[in-house]
Amino acid sequence: MATNRVLVTGATGKQGGAVAHELLNQGWSVRALTRKPEGEPARALARLGAEVVAGDFDDGASLERALKDVWGVFAVQNTWDAGVEREEEHGKRLARLAREQGVQHFVYSSVASAHRKTGIPHFENKFRVEETVRSLAFPSHVVIRPVFFMENLLSPWTLQGDKLMMALSPTRVLQMIAVEDIGRYGALAFERAEQLAGREIDIAGDAVTMTRAAQVLSESRRRKIEFQQTPIEAVRAQSPDAAMMLEWLERVGYNADIEGNAREYGIPPTRLPDWARRQAT
């Protein structure tokens, strides 16, 4: 087993891609799991030195092949792609197979506040995956829990022409994180595996209102963008799960220790204006 070989799931997605790039930049041996090894994102990783392998969370045999002779695993699943029940199945299946295959260090990307009994389906299922990871007694494991992605501000559901749309009140502060920072924390979880073993870390980079976010996007894109609050019932009609999350964010919200994490882990948080300027170039 190569002691620096890490299997990164979701390697052509946001979180997995950020972790894979950060690990490759640091000289790790990365095995990148993807359902589409022939796609350009996978080919780009291969050009950077990753070993790209085909795999599917619904196909246990493909996961067993991908897990062969790896020291560590970065595990992330996608609720919006798989649905709540299948995402949980995927997370638990990968963790169990990783333990059977002798993986030494397992890093699971959950969601911020998963442990706080939010009642949100796609938070609760991730916490159950966390519990499975803990119960398997890997030699070491780390759970990272990111908040709302800054990248979501640019999705077609959120940024619609000159309107930034979300079902939060204009004065509600929302913690958010740049995906590149998730990559840094993910890589750190391998780099400092022994020191961080057993840690569960909620991570964020900034905390702003949607009104402020609209101002930041206006400045970076040099056009007027205004925040418009989406009626929660409109969200509920499309996704009851998403509506429950937004209602919880309005009522309670994340509580990651942004400044404390920066001091303890040495990762400077990416602030929204800096992130937005980079997106606009």
Reported as a single tens digit per residue, the pLDDT across 113-138 is 999 999 999 999 999 999 999 999 99
Q: Is the pLDDT of residue 212 over 60?
A: yes
- Please report whether residue 278 resides in a domain: no
On whether the CB atoms of residues 113 and 254 are closer than 8 A, the answer is yes
Nearest CA-CA partner of 134 in 96, 187, 173 = 96
CATH number of the domain bearing residue 65 = 3.40.50.720
- For residue 57, the enclosing domain spans 2-147+178-203+255-267
What percentage of the chain has pLDDT greater than the value 70?
Answer: 99
- Please report whether residue 208 resides in a domain: no
Region for residue 39 given its phi and psi (left: phi exceeds 0; alpha: psi -120 to 50; beta: otherwise): beta
- Please report whether residue 160 resides in a domain: no
Q: Is the pLDDT of residue 79 over 80?
A: yes
Report d(CA 170, CA 211) in Å as an integer. 6
- Please report whether residue 25 resides in a domain: yes
Strands 173-177 and 206-209 come out as antiparallel
Torsion of CA 242, 243, 248, 249, to 10 degrees: 70
- Please report whether residue 84 resides in a domain: yes
- DSSP calls for 3-52: EEEEEETTTTSHHHHHHHHHHHHTT-EEEEEES-TTSHHHHHHHHTT-EE
- Please report whether residue 35 resides in a domain: yes
Instruction: Count the Cβ atoms, other than its own, within 10 Å of residue 199.
Output: 15
- Please report whether residue 78 resides in a domain: yes
Q: How high is the pLDDT of residue 2?
A: 57
Report d(CA 277, CA 163) in Å as an integer. 18
On whether the CB atoms of residues 23 and 188 are closer than 8 A, the answer is no
Q: Is the pLDDT of residue 216 over 70?
A: yes
Report d(CA 243, CA 231) in Å as an integer. 10
Place of tokens 């994490």: 261
The pTM of the full predicted model, rounded to 2 decimals, is 0.96
Q: What would the pLDDT profile of 140-197 be if each residue is shown by its tens digit?
A: 999 999 999 999 999 999 999 999 999 999 999 999 999 999 999 999 999 999 999 9
Number of domains making up the chain: 1
Q: How high is the pLDDT of residue 80?
A: 79
- Please report whether residue 227 resides in a domain: no
Mean model confidence pLDDT for the chain: 96
Q: What would the pLDDT profile of 218-258 be if each residue is shown by its tens digit?
A: 999 999 999 999 999 999 999 999 999 999 999 999 999 99
